[in-house]
Structure 1
Amino acid sequence: MVSTSDFRKGLKIEHEGEPYLIVDFVHYKPGKGGAFVRATVKNLINGKTVEITWRSGEKVKRPDLEEKEFQYLYREGDAFNFMDNGTYEQVTINQDQLGLAGDYMKENAVYRLMSFNGKVISVEPPMFMELEIIETEPGIRGDTVTGGSKPAILETGKRVMVPLFVNQGEVIRVDTRTADYLERV
């Protein structure tokens, strides 16, 4: 249990049987009546953001969340198969459960899976990934690092902007949080 006076951004709580992430919160002390806390929270299962109000000092449950690293094995239709490298246990996840990680699914890469009460609710890709460019316009002589950017399609199907000097077939490092090009590998 956690008290509303211990709320902070990024804290995970349980409300009405579902896990939430605190995005923002404010303590109010009106002239009349008791103090209260109003928090903007994001549902970790469906991604919806709502505002919830509690009396100051009220206790809130912590969710039964478990985060583990799993290796992505292969895709079978709309199902993605992962394996725990420690126990060799395999987990199958639907495409709609992947969220933004679906743009970065590369075989044998390690992903962080979050489960709530034994059910996987989110997949998080590594922060930086090395991916091959499968399609982009060819670089032209004279293109420089500061010259601009062009669209490129990565091996996972994700479309990113890369500098003009980067060519098809090259491997680049991408920040998966922002989909930004970082460097050639």
Structure 2
Amino acid sequence: MKIDGNEIRPGNVIRHQDTLWVAVKTQAVKPGKGGAYNQVELKNLFDGRKLNERFRASETVERVRLEQRDFQYLYENGDMLVFMDQESFEQVELPRDFVGDRAVYLQEGMKVMLESHEGTYISCQLPEYVTLEVVETEPTVKGQTAAASYKPAILSNGVRVMVPPFMSTGEKVIVATETSEYVRRAD
């Protein structure tokens, strides 16, 4: 699908310089002299390179639609992560680097969304929040809850987060997968 250069919005995936890029930021610029253009910050979907490009309204670019499918995380096999397609039950092995730092939040049976283009997997979307158990933290000190302070805790997946002072070992917490921050105590 062809779109004009001034129609590019953050999140759009476009084909530029014979590869796929996602628009991270866009800014419409109208200089005092010359024609208006769209200043776009692009990120390469395959190697993570960044590029700043100007697109005029008269230029056209190809907007690419990614195929999104639901998968279930099964297990880790060395440096590979194994996922199963929820519809065809076909198994896919992807390198641990594909998910990146958020791979520590993968749990057996977790539903994830994999995005692909022409059979090549591009990204993995984890659930926004996960529930984990606190395995190590400092004991609660009486009277410490008056100030809004936090204490370090190590979770069952090995990640270190800051939790409120009333949390103790063995309790379950909800953590944001994107930011690795404590959200709330699990029910």
TM-score by length of 2: 0.87
Are residue 86 (structure 1) and residue 96 (structure 2) matched?
no
Distance 1:23 1:128 in 2: 23
Separation in 2, partners of 1:17, 1:170: 50
Shift, 1:34, TM fit? 4.4
| Partner in structure 2 of residue 17 of structure 1 | 18
Contact 2:5 2:57 in 1 (8 A): yes
Going from structure 1 to structure 2, the CA distance change for 1:67 and 1:100 (only over 3 Å counts) comes to farther
The superposition leaves residues 117-163 of structure 1 with CA deviations (integer Å, 9 ceiling, x where unpaired) of: 21212222101111112222222333427541112222222221111
Alignment size in residue pairs: 185
Identity of aligned residues (%): 39
Could you say which residue in structure 1 is the equivalent of 2:152? Answer: 151
* One-letter amino acid of the counterpart of residue 153, structure 2: A
Displacement of 1:85 after TM fit? 1.8
| 2:102–2:178 CA contact under 8 A, matched in 1 | no
Contact kept? 2:153, 2:161, Cα under 8 Å: yes
Shift of 1:17: 2.8
Q: Secondary structure at the match of 2:97?
A: helix
Give 1:2's aligned amino acid.
I
Matching residue's letter, 1:48: R
Please tell me the root mean square deviation across aligned C-alpha atoms, in Å: 2.1
Q: CA deviation at 1:29?
A: 4.4
Name segments (4+ residues, structure 1) moved above 6 Å. Answer: none
Q: Normalising to structure 1: TM-score of the pair? A: 0.88
Q: Which runs of 5+ in 2 are unaligned?
A: none
Partner of residue 166, structure 2: 165
Greater mean deviation of Cα atoms: 163-172 or 33-42: 33-42
CA deviations 1:70-105 (Å, max 9, x no partner) are 111111111111111221111111111112321311
